[in-house]
């Protein structure tokens, strides 16, 4: 049986891969232990040999699929499999490779033996449950004291195991100058070249992606979006997709629930305040009705109440999220990540030198040079693009005014069509600019040469974020601050909310559903009876997961609408709450069914997004103070009291300053992490301080 599997594994007789001899332990056990539909464990024969006896396991679970280029010859594939399977001390990745059973032969399946997984767990700085039930930073040498450290499928989450494979592949570096076998001579690897990156550039490797686990996926989807449950299975999401995805869904969850207070307040205001009802009616009907007033209005209008509430609410939400986030990070073992101390990310370059922190030889790049590049190149370029957005908006307003003037003058069919020209041109311009900016942001961040993957991601995200945010809110800010037109702002906000939510629901719920029903589903039923390997091939046809940027930015824009402008339209929170309740499910459905599984590095928080939400919550004070000033009630009151407009403005500025002060004090007083986590962190610090002393002594004595 093991021989047969081998022959299937290398179809077309392209020569025997180096790892054909099946592992003796796993050959027969694989099929019997687990139902083949739920696990993908029938591959044990055909895997490369493991180098240490402890890693020989009964079955090997294929975790990652590598797709080779169409022109790759068997010689190159053999070399690659050997490289992947070689132990790390010989310059290999220390992984398990399988030549695959695909007819075209351009596939390699990867898995990881126990030792490699455990060593990488230590390198990444993941925390796992120690024998005393505390989370402790994992140490390879101390592995026997960690719970379940003999069973990798329990000890590490699926996402961690898959990420570790990517981590090892990205860490492959040529130990000497090397010609790639079976490739033209022009393609050589130089010493310390990043092999995986170079092979990708050379077209040898087309794709590397983690595989779905159908059984677990079915289980997850059942408890996530199929039923009517309110809570999300966040731990399971972390287990299956990894902490970055789990953080997004946790935040979505947290944020959705925190919409309840403003939603209730909004409903209350909308129901009781006739003023708001009249205004909302106006904003929907678009006509300025004559104000009919029969009984005295209360001193504080809903508008003002909502403005003050928004300011405080946004601070409290963000502060509480920080606490929740650090609890989650502790629970998922990512509180203590050691990315700073690990190898630099693949794209990082610099002069070879000794890292003063870890003492390892690796490329070094001085901090001040990076700062200089950011200050002198990145910041001006980003500023330029923001300027172009403003310029575009100004041109649009100018052209619109011009065209309307022309239309009034001519009043013909031609001039009527002209009315749409500025809008169309502006949309085209904005889109072009956004695309151009994305490319520029990528190159800028690459040029900044960040050492850590997370720093790179954060700077790239930050750049795109600023631009997208500006693009989304420039018009609203313009209406609020320059035109100072509250009814227009209300109208615009309502239409943005309703339209953007309709578009969202269609693109995120209806289309995915239709695609799944009528395009994917027939395809899938066909593959139900197919052999296991076909399932993996199908996954290759799915589109790549586009990342969480679009999801986060949607939440950020929502949060912006709510915290910045919601006082002019009290039902904002209600609409958002309704939207998010379906959003949770549609996002979950999307990531489970419609895309390939993404690689998710373990992360300790939302990273730059947390900062973005925090900044927004500060801007909300300014914006709300301003809208408070524009509130019709206040304007009327001040007119009646004979206050000058500059006195009123001064009052608003004072209110703003006091509220910013309150916000800063609140942010300082609410600790960012719960007390019990602070204690655990300090305990770790204390024990490592003690250990350092002990170690020095031991070194000295020996």
Name the residues that contact a second copy, by CB under 8 A: 122, 137, 139, 141-142, 144-145, 338, 340-341, 356-358, 366-368, 371, 375, 622, 644-646, 649-650, 653, 657, 669, 671, 675, 679-680, 682-684, 686-698, 700
386 backbone dihedrals φ, ψ, rounded to 5°:
-65, -40
Compute the least distance from the CB of residue 381 to a second copy, in Å. Answer: 16
Which residue, among 619, 587, 318, 612, has the nearest Cα to 467 in the 3D structure?
Answer: 612
DSSP 277-321: HHHHHHHHH---PPPP--SPPPSS-HHHHHHHHHHHHHHHHHHHH
From CA 646, how far away is CA 191, in angstroms rounded? Answer: 70
SS3 492: helix
CB of 485 to a second copy, least distance (A): 16
Closer of 502 and 691 to a second copy (Cβ):
691
Name the minimum Å distance from CB 621 to a second copy: 11
- Residue corresponding to tokens 């170079």: 198
Strand partners, 284: none
Q: Are strands 205-210 and 188-189 parallel, antiparallel or unpaired?
A: unpaired
* Residue with Cβ nearer a second copy (104 or 687): 687
**Which tokens in the block code for residue 404?**
């309307």
Give 84 or 137: the residue with its C-beta nearer to a second copy: 137
CA 579, CA 575: separation in Å to the nearest integer?
6
Residue 645 CB, shortest distance to a second copy, in Å, is 4
- Helices (H), ranges, 19-157: 29-33, 74-85, 114-124, 152-155
Q: Between 205 and 455, whose beta carbon lies closer to a second copy?
A: 455
Q: Which residues pair with 135 in a beta bridge?
A: 129
- Of 402 and 683, which CB lies nearer to a second copy in the complex structure? 683
Longest dimension (CA), the chain: 97
CA 266, 270, 273 angle in degrees (round to 5)?
Answer: 120
Dihedral (Cα; 115, 116, 121, 122), 10-degree rounding: 70
How far is 425 from 218, CA to CA, in rounded Å?
47
Q: What's the per-residue H, E or C state across 633-671?
A: HHHHHHHHHCCCHHHHHHHHHHHHHHHHHHHHHHHHHCC
Task: Give the residue with the Cβ less far from a second copy, 33 or 696.
Answer: 696
Give, in order, the Cα–Cα distances in Å from 33 to each of 40, 41, 217, 481, 529: 11, 9, 19, 68, 20
Query: Is the CB of 316 or the CB of 511 nearer to a second copy?
Result: 316
Helix, strand, coil percentages in the chain from 3-state DSSP, rounded to 5: 65, 5, 30
Minimum CB distance to a second copy, residue 149 (Å):
13
Give 200: exposed, middle or buried? Use CB within 10 Å, 0-12, 13-18, 19+: middle
- CB nearer to a second copy: give 446 or 614: 614
If the CB atoms of residues 439 and 644 are measured against a second copy, the closer one turns out to be 644
In the complex with a second copy, which residue's Cβ is closer, 134 or 526?
Answer: 134
- Nearest approach, Cβ of 323 to a second copy (angstroms)? 13
- Determine the angle formed by the axes of helices 302-331 and 645-669, rounding to 10 degrees: 20
Least Å from the CB of residue 310 to a second copy: 18
Integer Cα distance of 297 and 89 in angstroms: 80
CB of 459 to a second copy, least distance (A): 13
Q: Contact, 364 vs 192, CB < 8 A?
A: no
| The length of the chain, given as a count of residues | 702
Nearer to a second copy, 22 or 137 (CB): 137
Question: Taking the complex as a whole, how short is the minimal distance between the CB of residue 136 and a second copy, in angstroms?
Answer: 8
Residues 6+ apart with CB under 8 A from 605: 247, 325, 326, 329
* Least distance (Å) between residue 452 CB and a second copy: 13
The span from the CA of 68 to the CA of 81, in Å, is 12
For the record, the structure tokens of 39 come out as: 């696990």
* String of DSSP letters for 505-518: HIIIIIHHHHIIII
From the CB of 164, what's the least distance to a second copy, in Å?
19
Question: Shortest gap between Cβ of 88 and a second copy (angstroms)?
Answer: 19
Q: Which is nearer to a second copy, 272 or 676 (CB)?
A: 676
Q: What is the DSSP letter of 138?
A: -
Residue identified by tokens 């032969």 is: 105
Helix (H) or strand (E) holding 265: helix 260-272
Sole residue written with tokens 């809110």: 473
Q: Give the residue with the Cβ less far from a second copy, 102 or 656.
A: 656
Query: Least distance to a second copy from the beta carbon of 629, Å?
Result: 10
Pairing of strands 127-129, 96-98: unpaired
**Nearest-approach distance from CB 595 to a second copy, in angstroms:** 35
**Shortest Cβ 352–a second copy spacing (Å):** 17
C-beta closer to a second copy: residue 405 or 447 = 447
Nearer to a second copy, 421 or 650 (CB): 650
Min CB(20)–a second copy separation in Å: 38
Interatomic CA distance for residues 580 and 577, integer angstroms: 5
Q: Between residues 435 and 694, which has the closer beta carbon with respect to a second copy? A: 694
Q: How far apart are CA 201 and CA 685, in angstroms?
A: 43
């Amino acid at each position: 049986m093991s021989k047969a599997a081998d022959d299937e594994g290398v179809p077309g007789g392209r020569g025997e891969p180096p790892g054909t001899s099946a592992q003796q332990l796993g050959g027969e056990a694989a099929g019997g232990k687990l139902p083949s539909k739920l696990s993908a464990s029938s591959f044990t024969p055909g895997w490369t040999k493991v180098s240490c006896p402890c890693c020989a396991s009964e079955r090997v679970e294929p975790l990652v699929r590598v797709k080779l280029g169409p022109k790759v010859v068997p010689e190159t594939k053999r070399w690659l499999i050997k490289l992947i399977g070689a132990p790390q001390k010989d310059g290999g990745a220390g992984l398990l490779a399988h030549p695959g059973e695909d007819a075209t032969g351009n596939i390699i399946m990867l898995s990881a033996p126990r030792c490699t997984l455990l060593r990488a767990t230590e390198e990444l700085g993941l925390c796992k449950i120690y024998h005393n039930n505390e989370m402790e930073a994992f140490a390879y040498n101390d592995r026997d004291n960690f719970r379940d450290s003999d069973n990798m499928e329990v000890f590490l989450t699926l996402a961690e195991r898959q990420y570790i494979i990517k981590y090892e592949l990205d860490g492959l570096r040529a130990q000497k100058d090397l010609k790639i076998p079976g490739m033209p001579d022009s393609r050589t690897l130089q010493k310390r070249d990043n092999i995986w990156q170079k092979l990708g550039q050379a077209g040898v490797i087309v794709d590397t992606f983690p595989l779905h686990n159908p059984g677990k996926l079915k289980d997850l989807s059942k408890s996530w979006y199929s039923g009517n449950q309110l809570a999300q299975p966040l731990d399971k999401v972390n287990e299956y997709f990894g902490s970055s995805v789990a953080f997004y869904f946790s935040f979505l969850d947290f944020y959705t629930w925190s919409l309840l207070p403003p939603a209730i307040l909004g409903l209350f205001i909308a129901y009781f305040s006739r003023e708001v009802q009249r205004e909302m009616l106006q904003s929907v009907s678009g006509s300025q009705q004559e104000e009919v007033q029969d009984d005295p209005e209360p001193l504080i209008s809903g508008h003002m109440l909502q403005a003050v509430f928004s300011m405080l609410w946004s601070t409290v939400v963000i502060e509480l999220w920080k606490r929740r986030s650090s609890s989650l990070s502790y629970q998922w073992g990512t509180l203590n990540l050691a990315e700073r101390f690990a190898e630099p990310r693949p794209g990082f370059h610099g002069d070879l030198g000794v890292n003063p922190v870890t003492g390892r030889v690796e490329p070094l790049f001085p901090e001040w040079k990076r700062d200089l590049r950011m200050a002198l190149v990145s910041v001006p370029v980003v500023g330029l693009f923001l300027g172009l957005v403003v310029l575009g908006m100004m041109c649009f307003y100018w052209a619109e005014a011009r065209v309307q003037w022309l239309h009034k003058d001519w009043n013909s069919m031609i001039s009527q069509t002209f009315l749409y020209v500025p809008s169309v041109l502006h949309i085209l311009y904005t889109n072009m600019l956004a695309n151009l900016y994305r490319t520029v942001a990528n190159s800028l961040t690459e040029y900044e040469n960040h050492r850590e993957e997370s720093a790179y991601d954060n700077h790239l995200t930050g750049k795109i974020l600023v631009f997208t945010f500006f693009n989304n809110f420039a018009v609203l800010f313009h209406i609020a601050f320059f035109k100072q037109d509250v009814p227009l702002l209300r109208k615009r906000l309502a239409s943005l909310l309703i339209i953007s939510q309709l578009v969202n629901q269609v693109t995120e719920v209806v289309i995915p559903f239709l695609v799944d029903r009528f395009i994917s589903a027939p395809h899938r039923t066909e593959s139900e009876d197919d052999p296991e390997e076909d399932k993996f091939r199908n996954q290759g046809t799915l589109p790549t997961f586009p990342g969480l940027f679009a999801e986060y930015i949607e939440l950020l824009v929502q949060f912006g609408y709510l915290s910045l402008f919601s006082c002019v339209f009290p039902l904002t929170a209600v609409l958002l709450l309704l939207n998010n309740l379906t959003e949770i499910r549609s996002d979950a459905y999307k990531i489970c069914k419609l895309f390939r599984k993404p690689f998710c590095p373990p992360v300790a928080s939302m990273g730059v997004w947390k900062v973005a939400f925090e900044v927004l919550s500060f801007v909300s004070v300014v914006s709300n103070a301003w809208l408070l000033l524009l509130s019709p009630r206040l304007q009327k009151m001040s007119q009646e009291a004979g206050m000058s407009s500059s006195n009123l403005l001064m009052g608003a500025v004072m209110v703003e300053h006091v509220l910013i002060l309150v916000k800063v004090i609140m942010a300082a007083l609410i600790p960012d992490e719960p007390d019990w986590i602070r204690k655990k962190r300090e305990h770790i610090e204390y024990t490592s301080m003690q250990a350092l002393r002990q170690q020095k002594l031991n070194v000295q004595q020996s």
